[in-house]
Amino acid sequence: MSSRQAYRDLLDKLVKLDVGQYTFDVPLSSYNSWQIGGPADLLIEPGRADQVAAVVRFASQFRIPLVVIGQGTNLLFDDAGLRGVVLKLGENFSAVTIEENRITAESGAWVPGLARKAMLAGLAGLEHTIGIPGTVGGLVLMNGGSQRKGIGENVRRVEVVNREGRMLALNREECAFSYRRSALQGTGAVVVRVELECERRDPRRIRHLMLDDLRERRRKFPRKEPNCGSVFLSTSEMHASVGPPGKVIEEAALKGVRIGDAEISHQHANFIVNHGSASSGDVLALIAHVRHVVNSRIGFDLCCEVRYVSPEGVIMPAHQAGP
Ligand SMILES: Cc1cc2nc3c(=O)[nH]c(=O)nc-3n(C[C@H](O)[C@H](O)[C@H](O)COP(=O)(O)OP(=O)(O)OC[C@H]3O[C@@H](n4cnc5c(N)ncnc54)[C@H](O)[C@@H]3O)c2cc1C
């Protein structure tokens, strides 16, 4: 039997366990906001934490590459796709409960929906997340948020399935949140549930802040073409020394520079938009070009917020992938 056939047999064995919905040979371009990426061998959408654990255990036992995704709004998949399994935590795993000032959300919950529920319950603290189009799991892993605030500030507890498939609960300190970072990154842990702590405030005041945030996004960000939000990280050290990446890239006259169908947005220079058939290579080449020009101009190394997923299932900041 060929090793390819043995691998296919393993995937068949995996889906016969109770793992949730599954599809073989899915186009990854349908599972990320850049709409880029070739086929993945198998995509599983679990509906329960024990199903997540079963997939993680199996993948770890048989050394099958496993990539966890939410809405894919911070991911660049390769045109060659993925020789492994995508574990998508989304709609099937998105229950939200609110008790007093605490919100418990399954990791597939959609962030703007969660922020809206918090607002209606008069719970403040998530206003900055109203326009972030990802899931709670992706948000916590990335410690996503605004320039000033990350979701970590409101996290009380995170339940994860670790690399061995065991459930663990971590408190905020153990997650070690910092700007767009958490201790969960690179550990293989899958976030399954998050408990958030908020403050009580008048829902009208919260709504007002959310509408301001959405208005600002509509004004600043490209809305029509597929994109992945901010490509480069904007740390406070960077702000203090050279300014935010959008400004630095714009001052380097890179707005509108295009490789293949990938282009530095005319509207916001920290966005790369897909004009229809951009490849992962186009985006990586554009990222490398921007970094080269900026470094030659001001001696600063831009680092990516966006993460690249290799065909072998390795996830890394996109600038580390190379064109
Ligand atoms: C238009 C636009 C605007 C954006 N604005 C913002 C913004 O203001 N602030 C901001 O911080 N981000 C922003 N983003 C980026 C992105 O939405 C966030 O990083 C978001 O939190 C990612 O969630 P996701 O579900 O899409 O994660 P994905 O892109 O699917 O995954 C991101 C990372 O998280 C991991 N991951 C996902 N789910 C889990 C899980 N359950 N357990 C373990 N690991 C997991 C993935 O493996 C990957 O490494 C924006 C993106 C777009 C397209």
**Distance from residue 228's CA to the centre of ligand 1 (Å):** 9
8 A C-beta contact, residue 79 and residue 34:
no
Mean per-residue pLDDT, 181-206: 96
Burial 216-232 (b: 16+ CB within 10 A, else e): eeeeebeeebbbbbbbb
Mean per-residue pLDDT, 43-72: 97
Mean of the per-residue pLDDT values of the chain: 96
**Owner of token pair 């509207």:** 267
pLDDT at 192 over 90: yes
Does 71 sit in the ligand 1 pocket, CB within 6 Å? Answer: yes
Does 81 sit in the ligand 1 pocket, CB within 6 Å? Answer: no
Tell me if residue 258 is catalytic.
Answer: no
**Distance from residue 292's CA to the centre of ligand 1 (Å):** 26
Record the pTM: 0.96
Convert the pLDDT of each residue in 5-34 to its tens digit: 999 999 999 999 999 999 999 999 999 999
**Owner of token pair 């990350």:** 150
Convert the pLDDT of each residue in 263-309 to its tens digit: 999 999 999 999 999 999 999 999 999 999 999 999 999 999 999 99
Convert the pLDDT of each residue in 177-186 to its tens digit: 999 999 999 9
Between the alpha carbon of residue 62 and those of residues 55, 100, 311, the distances in Å are 11, 44, 17
Mean per-residue pLDDT, 82-105: 97
DSSP letters spanning 32-99: STT----EEEEEEE-SSHHHHHHHHHHHHHTT--EEEESS-SSEEE-TT-EEEEEEE-SGGG--EEEE
pLDDT of residue 8: 96
pLDDT of residue 238: 83
Contact partners, residue 301, CB within 8 Å, separation at least 6: 291, 295
Report the alpha-carbon distance of residue 127 to residue 125 in Å, rounded: 6
Task: Tell me the angle at which helices 49-61 and 3-16 cross, rounded to the nearest 10 degrees.
Answer: 160
Convert the pLDDT of each residue in 224-266 to its tens digit: 999 999 999 988 888 888 899 999 999 999 999 999 999 999 9
pLDDT of residue 323: 65
Instruction: Count Cβ atoms below 10 Å from residue 273 Cβ, excluding itself.
Output: 22
Between the alpha carbon of residue 305 and those of residues 142, 228, 315, the distances in Å are 9, 10, 12
Convert the pLDDT of each residue in 146-171 to its tens digit: 988 999 999 999 999 999 999 999 99
**Distance from residue 5's CA to the centre of ligand 1 (Å):** 34
Does 36 sit in the ligand 1 pocket, CB within 6 Å? Answer: no
Does 190 sit in the ligand 1 pocket, CB within 6 Å? Answer: yes
pLDDT of residue 239: 86
- Kindly give the residue spans of alpha helices, DSSP state H, lying in 176-224: 203-220
pLDDT of residue 236: 81
**Dihedral of the alpha carbons of 197, 70, 227, 289, in degrees to the nearest 10:** 100
Tokens of 300: 């600063």
